[in-house]
A and B are shown apart, each in its own frame.
Chain A
Amino acid sequence: LPVPSGDKDNRLLAEKYLRRFYGFPAGLQGKQQASGVFETKIKEMQKFFKLEVTGNLDDNTLELMKLARCGVPDIGEYN
């Protein structure tokens, strides 16, 4: 089924967040690889913020991604 646009926006927001703060690789990769890396990075972010580590873009994780914050990455490469 086509992904509902709301979910798609949230997914893009999450990818942008993870790219900026958790070193999620830029650019498109193989579908399987992308979802694996995405889940891994979500887990890193959930662990950092002491959220429940699910690897899923659940409401709490998404809500935290929308909070005002500092632009320095939380872990990983510091650009």
Chain B
Amino acid sequence: HFPRHLKWQNNNVTFRILNYTPDLKKSDVDRAIRSALNVWSDVTPLTFKKLHKGNADIMISFGSKEHGDYNPFDGPNGLLAHAYPPGQGIGGDTHFDEDEHWTKDSSAYNLFVVAAHELGHALGMSHSTDVGALMYPIYSYTTGYPLSEDDIEGIQALYGPNPNSKKVKPRPDAPNKCDPTLSFDAATELRGETIIFKDRFYWRLHPQMPEPEQTLIKSTWPSIPNRVDAAYENPEKDRVIIFSGIRMWALNGYDLVDGYPKYIHKLGLPKTIRKIDAAVYIRDTGKTLLFTDEDYWSYDEATGTMDKGYPRSIEDDFPGMDDEVDAAVYHYGYLYFFHEHMQYEYSYNSRKVIRIMRTNSILNC
């Protein structure tokens, strides 16, 4: 919240759109602003009435550089928009930088996403430190329901819940890396870094970065689903393969490779396999192991075929691993299996688990 928890004293708030960006049809701008207001009215008693003349609580306009409030914009990119906390005069007013390109999709800055964030300010919300919250200050294109639990908690602390509340499915807050019960969805190397996927986010570990960096998957790869099941790197081909459901994507560095997604069955998996739990490339053998439930498969990267005689039992071939695997990485002859909140260091040579640690010890917790 802003200092003194600034808010509108009256739940019936008025708004007016003073001018329009030429980037979108007038009706598209109207719809984006209305949808953005509905995001907040769905979870509070607030109602928004549109005025076509005179002074409204929230005056909405598009302007570039110095646009009348001595708080100039900066041309393309950088600052996208700003808004003022509830109050008289300029209070609640919301300004969009006309030097940006405004769109209805992810091809440039999505007006709905930015408007929903700015109108949060106009209603009394300040910035959130939760990277998955709508009120996080950095732009990222997201689809689906925009509010996180953090956002809803914040706005309802000011105005209370919507008495006729619609069932909304808020986004869970960003996972806390030092939560002792933390489990991983997937893990892979990527050109010397380690990428760990959890929920809608991924952590990026770099040898020179003691602090893992948490980012929304979609802010880096908008076309990849919000949830990753497994991932592995084949350093010889400089490719990272990401699995989600029955589809897979390939990355070259951080760039998506054309021609994906493809079906995982192209690897030679039977149609009955609908999800891969974990995947890891074993540099010494040139094989990629794919774990599904209690079994695993061996894919020969050189021939592009699945080895014969699979699936085999994880428990039989990896003594000490008698449960499913969430994620796996391979370092210098050691396989690290992650399952729920524990990780198992498995020695390939001595064919046994030689150490057990907490899953998030890899995140310096």
Contact = CB atoms under 8 A, between A and B. Distances in A.
Given A51-B211, A52-B211, A68 B78 contact: yes
A71 B82 contact: yes
B363 interface: no
B139 A68 contact: yes
Contacts of A51: 211, 213
A18 to B, nearest CB: 14
B68 interface: no
Contacts of B131: 50
Contacts of B302: none
Interface in B233-256: none
A67 B214 contact: no
B79 A69 contact: yes
Contacts of B196: none
A73 B139 CA distance: 14
Contacts, number: 67
B49 to A, nearest CB: 24
Nearest to B6: A78
A21 B82 CA distance: 12
B192 interface: no
A74 interface: yes
Which bucket holds chain B's interface residue count?
A: 20 to 34
Contact of A50 (B3, B80, B129): B129
A78 B3 contact: yes
Contacts of A52: 209-211
A64 interface: yes
Interface string B101-135: 00000000100001001100100001101010000
A79 B71 contact: yes
B214 to A, nearest CB: 7
B213 A71 contact: no
B143 interface: no
A72 interface: yes
B211 A71 contact: no
B209 A67 contact: no
A67 B139 contact: yes
A75 B128 CA distance: 10
B346 to A, nearest CB: 31
Nearest to A21: B137
B92 interface: no
7 contacts: A48-B129, A50-B129, A68-B77, A69-B78, A70-B137, A71-B97, A78-B126
Given A68-B77, A69-B78, A72-B137, 19 more contacts: A50-B129, A51-B211, A60-B209, A68-B80, A68-B109, A69-B138, A70-B79, A70-B114, A70-B118, A70-B137, A70-B139, A71-B71, A71-B82, A72-B118, A74-B126, A74-B127, A78-B2, A78-B3, A79-B71
Interface of B: 2-3, 71, 73, 77-85, 97, 109, 114, 117-118, 121, 126-127, 129, 131, 137-139, 209-211, 213-214
The 10 tightest CB contacts between A and B, nearest first, are A71-B82, A52-B211, A71-B79, A68-B139, A74-B127, A69-B137, A69-B138, A70-B137, A67-B138, A72-B82
Interface of A: 21, 48-52, 60, 64, 67-75, 78-79
